[in-house]
Structure 1
Amino acid sequence: MKNIYFFIGTEAELMKMFTTIRELKLRGYRCIIVSSGQNEIHNSLFLELAGCNIDIDLSQYAPEVKSAKNYISWLFNTRKYGVKVMKEQLPAGGREDCLWIVHGDTLSTLLGAQIARKTGIKYMHVESGPRSFSLLSPFPEEIDRYYASKYSVVNFCPQKIYAEYAEKRFKGKAVNTYYNTGIETLNYAIKENRENSHPRIVEEKYFLLAIHRQENLYNKEYMVKLFTKIIELSDKMKCVFIYHEQTKDALVRYNLWDKVNSDKNICIIKRRPYVEFIDLVDKAEFVIADGCGNQQEFYYLGKPYLIMRLKVEKDSEGVGWNAECFGNKFNMIDYFYNNYQKYRKSPVVMEKSPSVIIADSIDDYFAKGGGEIDGEGWEKRSD
């Protein structure tokens, strides 16, 4: 039996990979979940949907308090521990029957790639390709994705342009999946919401706000200007503010929490499970947020989205279509409110399953001994 190790760090990674895991299990692969501990995923709905449990738990160094210092400590300690554990777990002479999968652009993506290289197991990178071409923005995602892609034997890219870039830039094979695997997760959530309706948080029209990126939370000037604008905008349209604990901590630190919390036009709610979150997005007029994964989801939904980041990946989904990048121009908030309806688009209809494309490529990889696919080498050039 072929062993596929899925290195999972965050809830979002698991959400985007559960359909791929199910597809591979249907094809007879043994799917092994390795948890880095970046997020707590033991009780995740998507672990259940994938039909899996955590098989290898590396979370003993997971930070209890989220901070840059604690994450750096976790990264180095978990890499050392992970290499030790995986050297014990992997078969001594049969690693050609094993494959390691990393996903996306988180710290766990980089960590998983490093553990794979240190233990001598080939790995593939799902959601490779997108680049801002600035290592410091988005930080650390640009660094994480670049170095994970650099040594992967296959880079699965959600658009042709990304696949072409990866094919030229990296040593591994590039495969175009046409969509991010997140579109399958999104379709699952939409179906669930159709079958199980949720009550509206507010009856009036509202826009949705979600800010959680570290590069934003540690920028006092940004946070003060942003939430001053949000309070002004909420006088025109109700705001539903989904907050992360680290966002609340930042607002308290900058003496903004009480001001936002007392505003009658801002409805503050804690993070919701993914299916409920998509329902909130679907009912919103538009979204102001800073999530990278959200950009793809909202593009697939056709939802107007103001991306609260300084830079976005070149040619990334939705920019200039349903979305605009804030780019440190706070007047963009007023502009977007006045023009959001022109950014409302029809949802994207999935014509090809990215999970099936990934599984087909893995079939070919093993069928050809990891040496070639469609007549071309998996590893085009040596280090």
Structure 2
Amino acid sequence: MKVLMIVGTRPEAIKMIPVYRTLSAREDMTACLLLTGQHREMARSVLDLFGVNADIDLDLMEHGQTLLSLSARLTAGLSRVIVDEQPDVILVQGDTTSAMIGGMLGFYAGCRVGHIEAGLRTGNLASPFPEEFNRRVITLGAHWHFAPTAAAAENLRSEGITLNVHTVGNTVIDAALDMADQMTPGKAAMFDQLPFLDDSSGKSVLVTVHRRENIGTRMAGIAAAVGELATLHSSTHFVVPVHPNPAVGAVVRPILESLENVHLIAPLYYDQMIYMLSRAFLVLTDSGGIQEEAPSFNVPVLVLRNESERMEGVDAGCSRLVGTEPSCIVKEAQTLLSDPVAHAMMANSANPYGDGCASQKIAQILSGIE
């Protein structure tokens, strides 16, 4: 059985690599990893970190690309590959434009499409944009729905999707636990860049913001909240990897760059992000993947969004949806930074996103061909 695995962005690469490795080790499957180049360098860096080479690299990324132009190039490039490779199965991950176009074309070509991380929903097509739309489109044409949690599987069933819905856990936990066991040059470099991370007596807060719907006024409010918290907690270090999108830096740098205990740094490689999470006291983020990874390291998460498709963490008590209003962010963060009991309650919550065996479960299901 030939399986074409489509990856476009760094999060997709992180979550697809454990599945690719697992399928590649099986004698009954031939795994072909395709990199679209939607986020060229960030995705390639993850492949390099895990020692994986893409079998096909479309290298489609263009400076200033729009969703329209990217979708057109993806359609043309992936169409050629599907015709040439004739895969039996196409696997897509998550809710990116690469995943949506790949799933749609796979359906058109009569391939069985497997959707990894299926069933996430906010119920609002505008938030997150365009991810909520993308994942719903993939669901319509998918044969297998690999849900990361029971709640995600229930979302699918509530939409009338009842066949081939499998709750397998999230493959990001497979990747995170694997990377946590490795001491890489990237991790070692962080000792020099951020030496306070190795001080067990200090506190570090990781802050990541990048979502398209937050850029502008909302992101300015988030940055203002971080600035207020940094002023209130002068002995706490706030680490802010600045997303490569220039619009993000244009908002956060003027607000935060003058504060001594706020560290505006370049985007972290995956091994560095896992190291940062393992050392963090608290996470403030609008990212999806970090909401899933942080509980594996017993780190509370405040989600800087008004809606989230990952409410399992909120229900389990390891994350909290706080929105983007500065006063709310400051209030919730203050509680966790100042109250050891409140922090411990969140830090010790069970991780609802899996046990690190999701890739094996997916491989077993594919080998049975339902």
Query: Per the shorter chain, which TM-score range?
Result: 0.7 to 0.9
1:277 equivalent in structure 2: 273
Asked if 1 retains the 8 angstrom alpha-carbon contact of 2:92 and 2:103, the reply is: yes
- Deviation at residue 193 of structure 1 after TM alignment: 4.6
Aligned to 1:44, what secondary structure does the other structure show? helix
Gaps of 5+ in 2: 197-201, 337-342
- C-alpha distance in structure 1 between counterparts of 2:346 and 2:314, whole Å: 9
What does 1:342-381 align with in structure 2 at a 5 Å threshold?
342-345=345-348, 348=351, 351=355, 353-365=357-369, 372=370
Asked if 2 retains the 8 angstrom alpha-carbon contact of 1:151 and 1:170, the reply is: no
1:378 equivalent in structure 2: none
Superimposed CA distance per residue, residues 274-313 of structure 1 (whole angstroms, 9 cap, x where no aligned partner): 1111111221210111101111112332211111111012
- C-alpha distance in structure 1 between counterparts of 2:72 and 2:172, whole Å: 29
Give the TM-score normalised by structure 1.
Answer: 0.83
- C-alpha distance in structure 1 between counterparts of 2:315 and 2:335, whole Å: 15
2:156 counterpart of 1:166: yes
Residues 194 and 107 (structure 1 numbering): CA distance in 2 closer, same or farther, change over 3 Å? closer
Structure 1 range deviating more: 19-28 or 158-167: 158-167
- C-alpha distance in structure 2 between counterparts of 1:76 and 1:83, whole Å: 11
- C-alpha distance in structure 2 between counterparts of 1:7 and 1:307, whole Å: 28
- C-alpha distance in structure 1 between counterparts of 2:294 and 2:56, whole Å: 33
The counterpart of 1:298, out of the listed 285, 294, 297, is 294
- C-alpha distance in structure 2 between counterparts of 1:291 and 1:319, whole Å: 18
- C-alpha distance in structure 1 between counterparts of 2:30 and 2:20, whole Å: 9
- C-alpha distance in structure 1 between counterparts of 2:109 and 2:2, whole Å: 15
The counterpart of 1:211, out of the listed 203, 209, 224, is 209
- C-alpha distance in structure 1 between counterparts of 2:179 and 2:34, whole Å: 25
- C-alpha distance in structure 2 between counterparts of 1:272 and 1:19, whole Å: 20
Asked if 1 retains the 8 angstrom alpha-carbon contact of 2:113 and 2:144, the reply is: yes
- Deviation at residue 202 of structure 1 after TM alignment: 4.8
Give the TM-score normalised by structure 2.
Answer: 0.86
Superimposed CA distance per residue, residues 128-163 of structure 1 (whole angstroms, 9 cap, x where no aligned partner): 012111111122111111111121111000112322
What does 1:257-268 align with in structure 2 at a 5 Å threshold?
257-268=253-264
Residues 45 and 216 (structure 1 numbering): CA distance in 2 closer, same or farther, change over 3 Å? closer
1:368 equivalent in structure 2: none
- C-alpha distance in structure 1 between counterparts of 2:77 and 2:349, whole Å: 47
Asked if 2 retains the 8 angstrom alpha-carbon contact of 1:34 and 1:54, the reply is: yes
- C-alpha distance in structure 1 between counterparts of 2:316 and 2:79, whole Å: 43
- C-alpha distance in structure 2 between counterparts of 1:150 and 1:282, whole Å: 38
- Deviation at residue 321 of structure 1 after TM alignment: 0.7
The counterpart of 2:284, out of the listed 269, 284, 288, is 288
Residues 154 and 194 (structure 1 numbering): CA distance in 2 closer, same or farther, change over 3 Å? same
- C-alpha distance in structure 2 between counterparts of 1:171 and 1:258, whole Å: 50
1:25 equivalent in structure 2: 24
2:335 counterpart of 1:339: yes
- C-alpha distance in structure 1 between counterparts of 2:204 and 2:282, whole Å: 8
| Number of equivalences | 348
Residues 270 and 354 (structure 1 numbering): CA distance in 2 closer, same or farther, change over 3 Å? same
2:90 equivalent in structure 1: 100
2:191 counterpart of 1:199: yes
- C-alpha distance in structure 2 between counterparts of 1:87 and 1:194, whole Å: 39
2:322 counterpart of 1:326: yes
1:5 equivalent in structure 2: 4
Among all aligned residue pairs of Structure 1 and Structure 2, give the percentage whose two residues are the same amino acid. Answer: 22
Residues 27 and 319 (structure 1 numbering): CA distance in 2 closer, same or farther, change over 3 Å? same
Residues 40 and 71 (structure 1 numbering): CA distance in 2 closer, same or farther, change over 3 Å? same
Residues 111 and 157 (structure 1 numbering): CA distance in 2 closer, same or farther, change over 3 Å? same
- Deviation at residue 81 of structure 1 after TM alignment: 3.1
2:55 equivalent in structure 1: 55
Residues 336 and 171 (structure 1 numbering): CA distance in 2 closer, same or farther, change over 3 Å? same
Which aligned runs of 4 or more in structure 1 are off by greater than 3 angstroms? 41-49, 193-198, 248-251, 346-352
Asked if 2 retains the 8 angstrom alpha-carbon contact of 1:101 and 1:126, the reply is: yes
Q: Which letter does structure 2 place at the counterpart of 1:154?
A: W
2:116 counterpart of 1:126: yes
Q: Which has the higher helix share?
A: 2
Aligned to 2:145, what secondary structure does the other structure show? strand
Superimposed CA distance per residue, residues 1-59 of structure 1 (whole angstroms, 9 cap, x where no aligned partner): x211001111211111212111111112211112221122574343573x643223333
- C-alpha distance in structure 1 between counterparts of 2:248 and 2:121, whole Å: 28
1:242 equivalent in structure 2: 241
Q: CA RMSD in A?
A: 2.5
1:380 equivalent in structure 2: none
- C-alpha distance in structure 2 between counterparts of 1:84 and 1:227, whole Å: 44
Gaps of 5+ in 1: 366-371, 373-383
2:225 counterpart of 1:229: yes
- C-alpha distance in structure 1 between counterparts of 2:21 and 2:3, whole Å: 12
